[in-house]
């Protein structure tokens, strides 16, 4: 446990001692802010029965932040250490591969959660000036953040895998972006299939990320979605672990 906490702390600290962390947070905050401006413009024209959190999920802004920020957060995790050689000093200390993978993932995930905090301020502004009482309702906000945390964990685990496979940060970012966009577009495939009753369509439908997040945004926590996100996250972390171990049998 000591090793896990020591490593997590260092990994988390690297986001904040360099400019990278602040740039990511600033960019995400800018996009969140812009999306809220756009939302409020639209809401000025017509009223909507949906809470603002739900509308936000339906905008492309949320997905742009998610798809772009996660590869940037995860790309350096393993790739940079391999490139600079510190991977060798890390792996020759008495740490286990599980500790390394879990600590790096946890640090990335915590940073990702911090990145979403400024959105609370946007919600507060909406609640305060638009008299949208649902904006900061504990249930909806909790559900929304749970959804953000879960979908983020999935995308970050993809990024971990990509970073563990290469020693180039650029390649890691491109691979995880490709995997992430691929996973995201799977959701649009069922609509292209003729009937919705085929088993293929049903399987693909369960990958419809934004439909699942839609529930979270309304404050509805569906166990199936939670299990779906958690199991996929663990699956990709397991693959990351294998990639890290491969050094021993390659």
Partner 1 sequence: MDNDPMIEVVKLTKRYAGHTALADISFTVGRGEIVGLLGDNGAGKSTTMRILSGFLPATSGTARIAGRDVFYDSREVRRRIGFMPENNPLHTEMRVREYLKFRARLKGLSWARSRARVDTVLAQCSLTEVSQRIIGQLSKGYRQRVGLADALVHEPELIILDEPTIGLDPHQIRSVRQLIKSLAGSHTVLISTHILSEAEMMCNRMMIMLGGRILAADTPDNLQNLMAGRGQVIAEIAAPVTELNASLAALANVETFDVSPAEGDFHRCAMTPRTGCDVRPEIFSLTRERGWALRELTRSRNSLEDIYMQVTKPKEEEEG
Which residues would be at the binding site for partner 1 (CB under 8 A)? 2-3, 6-7, 10, 14, 17-18, 84-86, 88-96, 247-249
Burial level of 208, CB count in 10 A (0-12/13-18/19+)?
A: middle
Nearer to partner 1 among residue 88 and residue 222 (C-beta): 88
| Tokens at 149, concatenated | 């945390």
Nearer to partner 1 among residue 21 and residue 147 (C-beta): 21
What is the CB neighbour count within 10 angstroms for residue 153? 24
Nearer to partner 1 among residue 90 and residue 174 (C-beta): 90
- Shortest distance, position 2 Cβ to partner 1, whole Å: 6
The answer to whether the beta carbons of residues 220 and 144 sit under 8 Å apart is no
- Shortest distance, position 59 Cβ to partner 1, whole Å: 36
Residue for token digits 């286990």? 96
* Cβ neighbours of residue 170 closer than 8 Å, sequence gap 6 or more: 75
Strands, E assignment, 45-103: none
- Shortest distance, position 85 Cβ to partner 1, whole Å: 3
The answer to whether the beta carbons of residues 236 and 101 sit under 8 Å apart is no
Nearer to partner 1 among residue 48 and residue 84 (C-beta): 84
- Shortest distance, position 153 Cβ to partner 1, whole Å: 25
Query: Cα–Cα distance between 32 and 122 in angstroms, integer?
Result: 8
Nearer to partner 1 among residue 88 and residue 191 (C-beta): 88
* Cβ neighbours of residue 48 closer than 8 Å, sequence gap 6 or more: 55
- Shortest distance, position 109 Cβ to partner 1, whole Å: 20
């Amino acid at each position: 446990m000591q090793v896990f906490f020591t490593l997590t702390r260092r990994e988390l600290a690297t986001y904040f001692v360099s400019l990278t962390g602040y740039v990511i947070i600033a960019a995400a905050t800018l996009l969140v802010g812009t999306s809220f401006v756009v939302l409020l413009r639209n809401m000025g024209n017509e009223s909507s029965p949906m809470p603002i959190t739900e509308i936000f999920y339906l905008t492309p802004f949320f997905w742009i932040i998610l798809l772009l920020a996660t590869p940037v957060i995860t790309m350096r995790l393993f790739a940079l250490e391999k490139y600079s050689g510190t991977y060798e000093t890390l792996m020759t200390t008495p740490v286990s591969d599980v500790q390394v993978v879990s600590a790096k993932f946890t640090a990335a995930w915590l940073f990702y959660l911090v990145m979403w905090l400024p959105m609370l301020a946007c919600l507060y502004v909406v609640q305060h000036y638009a008299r949208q009482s649902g904006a900061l309702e504990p249930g909806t906000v909790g559900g929304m953040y749970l959804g953000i945390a879960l979908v983020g964990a999935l995308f970050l685990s993809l990024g971990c895998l990509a970073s563990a496979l290469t020693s180039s940060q650029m390649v890691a970012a491109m691979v995880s972006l490709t995997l992430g966009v691929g996973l995201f577009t799977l959701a649009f495939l069922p609509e292209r299939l003729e009937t919705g009753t085929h088993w293929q369509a049903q399987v693909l439908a369960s990958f419809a990320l934004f439909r699942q997040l839609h529930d979270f945004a309304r404050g509805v926590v569906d166990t199936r979605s939670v299990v779906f996100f958690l199991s996929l996250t663990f699956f990709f972390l397991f693959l990351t672990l294998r990639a890290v171990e491969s050094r021993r049998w390659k």
